Amino acid sequence: MGLPNINIEFKSQAVSAVKRSAKGVVAIILKDAAAAAQGAHVLTNSTQIPAELGAVNKAYVDQAFIGYVNPPRKVIVYVLDDEAANLSEALNYLATQTFDYLAGPPDCDATEATEIATWIASQRANDFTPKAVLPDKAADSEAIVNFTTDGIKVGENTYAAAGYCARIAGLIAGTPMTISCTYAPLPEVTDVTRLSKAEMDAAIDDGEFIIFHDGEKVKVGRGVNSLQTTTQDKGETFKKIKIVEAVDMIKNDIKMTAQDSYIGKYANDYDNKCLLISAISGYFTQLEQEGILQAGSSSVGIDLAAQEAYLQSIGVDTSAMSEQQIKEANTADKVFLKASIKILDAIEDIDLAIAI
C-alpha cells in the first residue's frame, strides 16, 4: 500500500531541497521613464530583459543573472515610473510573489532602503520569508544584507554599492544550500575601494557584506547579514546568510507541505499527530543525508509543556495525567509540536599549525 501521502510529500520536498536552494529567485524594483516597460516582468534568462528599459536598468538586471555556482532560476522585475514617489506599488505586487532576495533600484537611496527594510520586516512578521540586499543599510536584521562596498570597477564603469545590489542578490541566490558565498569570486570586477585587513574585519563584525581585492581577484569577504543584536532565539549563527537560508527553507517546506497535504485532511487524533511527526522526521533525515543538517541531530515530537498548558486553559485537570495521557489528549483543532535540528555551516575558518 505504500507510505501515507503526507510522508511522501515531505520526503519529496526534502529530496528537492538542494536543487531548489541551488538556484533561487531574485526580485528587483526599477524606476524607468519607458511606459512600455512599466509593470511586472518574470524573466528566466537575460535575453528576456525588456528592450525598452534604459541602459543602466538593463545592465543592473543583467548583472543579477550572473549568479555564483548557478544563475538565479528566475528574476522578477517590477518597473515603476521614474517619477514614482515611493516603492509601494512594486512592494504591493511583490507581496503576492515568492522570491529569495530583493534589490531596490540601482540608485536606491536611504529613504528607499528604509522603505524596503520596513516592508521586509512586516512580511516576515506575517510568517513570510523574503530577504533583501540593500546599500549601506545597517538594519540589524537576519533578513537584510547590508552591502557597503563602493568603487566597484567593471570595465569602463564604476559603481557605488547601490548600483551592484542586484549582482549581490543574484550571487547569493545562486549559492547552493550546502555551501556559503564566503570568498565567492566576482570575475567581472577588476577593483574596489581598498580597505585594510583591520577595516575589513571591523566591517564584517558590524554586519556589513563586503567584496574586496585579494591581490589577484575580487571576491566576497564573508557571507553575513546585518544582524547584530542576538537573542536566545536568534544566536550568533543567525548572522550567517547560509544558516538563515536553511531556516527559511525548512520553515517554508514544513508550512506549505502541511497546508497542502495535512491540514483539514486528517482527524486531529493522536495517531494522525504521530503521522505528521513521522513525516517531518523523515524530512529532517533526508536533509541530513543531503548535507544540510548534521547527521543524527534532528528530532521532532509533541510539545508536552505547550499541550498541557492548552489543556489546562480549557479546564482539563492534568495533575493526575501521565505524559502519555497528555500526549493522547484531545486538543480540538490544535497540534503542538517542537523540533530540534543542527544546520551545517560551511568551512570558512581554517587553523593550520605546520611543524618544521
Predicted local distance difference test score (pLDDT) of residue 3: 46
CATH fold of 21-241, please?
A: Rossmann fold (3.40.50)
Alpha-carbon gap, residue 268 to 127, rounded angstroms: 23
Predicted local distance difference test score (pLDDT) of residue 1: 42
Place of cell 538563515: 244
Which cell numbers hold the place of 124? 516576515
Q: Going residue by residue through the chain (356 aa), what tens digit of pLDDT does each one get? A: 444 566 666 667 766 665 665 679 999 999 999 999 999 999 999 999 999 999 999 999 999 999 999 999 999 999 999 999 999 999 999 999 999 999 999 999 999 999 999 999 999 999 899 999 999 999 999 999 999 999 999 999 999 999 999 999 999 999 998 899 999 999 999 999 999 999 999 999 999 999 999 999 999 999 999 999 998 888 899 999 999 999 998 888 888 888 888 889 889 999 999 989 988 998 899 889 888 899 999 999 999 999 999 999 999 999 999 999 999 999 999 999 999 999 988 766 656 665 66
Burial of 195 (0-12, 13-18, 19+ CB in 10 A): middle
Predicted local distance difference test score (pLDDT) of residue 212: 97
Burial of 47 (0-12, 13-18, 19+ CB in 10 A): exposed
Predicted local distance difference test score (pLDDT) of residue 347: 64
Predicted local distance difference test score (pLDDT) of residue 261: 84
Alpha-carbon gap, residue 282 to 13, rounded angstroms: 10
Whether pTM exceeds 0.75: yes
Alpha-carbon gap, residue 328 to 147, rounded angstroms: 50
Q: Tell me, what amino acid is at 217?
A: K
Q: Tell me, what amino acid is at 154?
A: V
Contact between residue 149 and residue 191 where contact means Cβ atoms under 8 Å apart:
no
If one counts every other C-beta atom within 10 angstroms of the C-beta of residue 319, the result is 6
Give residue limits of the domains in the chain: 21-241, 268-340
